[in-house]
Chains A and B, each alone.
Chain A
């Protein structure tokens, strides 16, 4: 019934004939191939349209964006004031306001990695050098050191912690992951067994148990007087954890290398490390950039778990906001903001990974 009303000749005559027929053909194939499908499409259309209307109304049209306290939220829509009023806290945590430019530069440096993966004209050695220096530069900028005033890491919170843990964790995990992958494929039984044990043990336990280990157990293993920053402890856990997963990705890449490459290296009389460093690994790493990027997205999401051991990342700040008496009852707004923040970054990065993968496939042909 719905198909007949839509295919009346008047509707196609009012539009330019070719466009109309093409759009109409597309619609008929994709949306209305049979009466049942047409009904389904129409129901979905109405339902999603209604949902979009209600959601937009709540999110934007009836929402409050300007004001200082909960009392300003008079409309029926969302109250975005807990976000706008606490945006500084969400982004920079308790970082001193006069020093926030340092965090901005650190963010910019971290974001700079992603375009570097794309530009092909840059020598790979520059990319590598950038990656190696990045964590140290970020630590220097955030924590202070020569030339910059020192800032206590207890002031680190919010997106600052999330980005720091994600980016620095990834950069440190990469070399360990590569070594573990090489170890797992080693011909030396001791090294192989140790690598396999490590990788499988880490992969079979939840991250939270490792984080608990870092927060509660490490003190027992260190001589009294040694005291590691909790932020660095959870960073170490994230690095060791990600390395185990990364080892499997790199191992996949190593297995995918044609045998001829190994034989060619041997025929040239290269030693093991020379063959790996100059012939095998550069190719493997180029091919594994997309899955490694996907792993970064995973790590970025895993960083939210540090809140369990008392490190205030962006989720910790959000939870403290919803439990603050002046913003009580605004959980939906705060958590939606949090979800959209992660969605925007993770979705963009996974699309980017897919794009790089397609580029790689093209260059192989």
Chain B
């Protein structure tokens, strides 16, 4: 009697229900962990991340940091991580470029161009990424052999071994250069921001971009001049069956980069089209009435308003690019999933640890990207409202 009356109390009932759900989830997890430990014991696999310090023993053709099969599994993980980041960043850059171009063509007043880009966008986005990828991979492999490599402006070679491009003879220079470049751009932006904050007409003053570009060019140059480093281009030379010098982007990397960029560009094109069309006609007319030239109206009124609704969608597209780079496993590009989630897992049998490591890494990417975009979103939101 007492118990039933107590259960009719909504708060008690709710607490009991929640406790039951929690208990159920805990029981399922306990059962799974128990079974896993029994099975692991039977196979003689010690759980834990200790295996990461063991010798990896497999080779990774494309690596951004020094790597040999004698290095540890942890080093192989780092190589995979950097490869994931590299192909994602390359794809984000190219996809944005192509996507904005396609999106602008989509809203073009020219009927022919807008229809053709509509067809292209729909074709690209309705074909699965895997199909894009295996197709591009077969196309890259069908390129002429090293002997008949296609020469691009006498400095780069395109063959079925990939794209060989010139690179700095001292690799560390590139890293330092990129660091100073980012720092210079940031300083330029900050300085211009301080200057603009004192202007009466917020948002209508000169653009920040010249200052950012100036800073990004000036700081690395300055650092280069005062340091004793010597920059030299390492231009690839054909040696019959192979190339000497330069850096080779492997066929796997090329195929993944092209497929990922082209597939994702169709999504960005749709976002750009939606954003431009979402700006009300009245805004164009208002800009006209205020005597803005079309170019200035676009730069100062239309694009700033179109960018704001684009940010969340573009963020999720960028995150999708990072997640989709895991398809490297299809063509054998050694990124995070195919190095740690594939070869390392198969060699060590540490399935739980490897997959947990890969998943945790992707969660971190996701959290960091969301945090950055929220921060930017907040700032843009403050400025437009």
Seen from chain A, the residues whose Cβ lies within 8 Å of a Cβ on chain B are: 30-31, 33, 37, 40-41, 44-45, 48, 187-191, 194, 201, 203-209, 212-213, 216-217, 219-224, 297, 301-302, 304-305, 307-308, 315, 318-319, 322, 331-332, 335, 338-339, 342-343, 346-347, 350
Contact = CB atoms under 8 A, between A and B. Distances in A.
A224 B39 contact: yes
Given A37-B110, A213-B355, A308-B329, A220 B40 contact: yes
Contact of A31 (B25, B110, B123): B110
A144 B128 CA distance: 31
Contact of A308 (B35, B330, B362, B365): B330
A30 B109 contact: yes
A350 B355 CA distance: 34
B126 A346 contact: yes
Contacts of A315: 128, 130-131, 134
Interface in B16-48: 17-19, 21-22, 25, 32, 35-36, 38-40, 42
A305 B129 CA distance: 9
A236 B33 CA distance: 20
A198 to B, nearest CB: 10
A120 B22 CA distance: 42
Dominant SS among interface residues on chain B: helix
The 6 closest A-B pairs by CB, nearest first: A204-B366, A30-B111, A331-B138, A346-B126, A190-B18, A206-B326
B323 interface: yes
Contacts of B18: 188-191
Given A188-B17, A209-B359, A224-B42, A204 B138 contact: no
Contacts of B14: 187-188
A20 to B, nearest CB: 18
B112 interface: yes
Contacts of A332: 135, 138-139
Contacts of A203: 366
Interface of B: 14, 17-19, 21-22, 25, 32, 35-36, 38-40, 42, 109-113, 116, 122-123, 126-131, 134-135, 138-139, 142, 319, 323-324, 326-327, 329-330, 337, 341-342, 345, 351-352, 355, 358-359, 362-363, 365-367
Contact of A217 (B42, B110, B128, B355): B355
15 contacts: A44-B112, A188-B18, A191-B18, A203-B366, A204-B362, A209-B359, A212-B355, A220-B39, A220-B40, A220-B351, A221-B36, A331-B135, A332-B135, A346-B126, A347-B122
Contacts of A206: 323-324, 326, 337, 362
Nearest to B122: A347
A209 B112 contact: no
Contacts of A335: 131, 134-135, 138
A212 B337 contact: yes
A307 B323 contact: no
B127 A339 contact: yes
Contact of B351 (A191, A205, A216, A223): A216
A315 B127 CA distance: 12
B253 to A, nearest CB: 18
B130 A339 contact: no
A342 B19 CA distance: 46
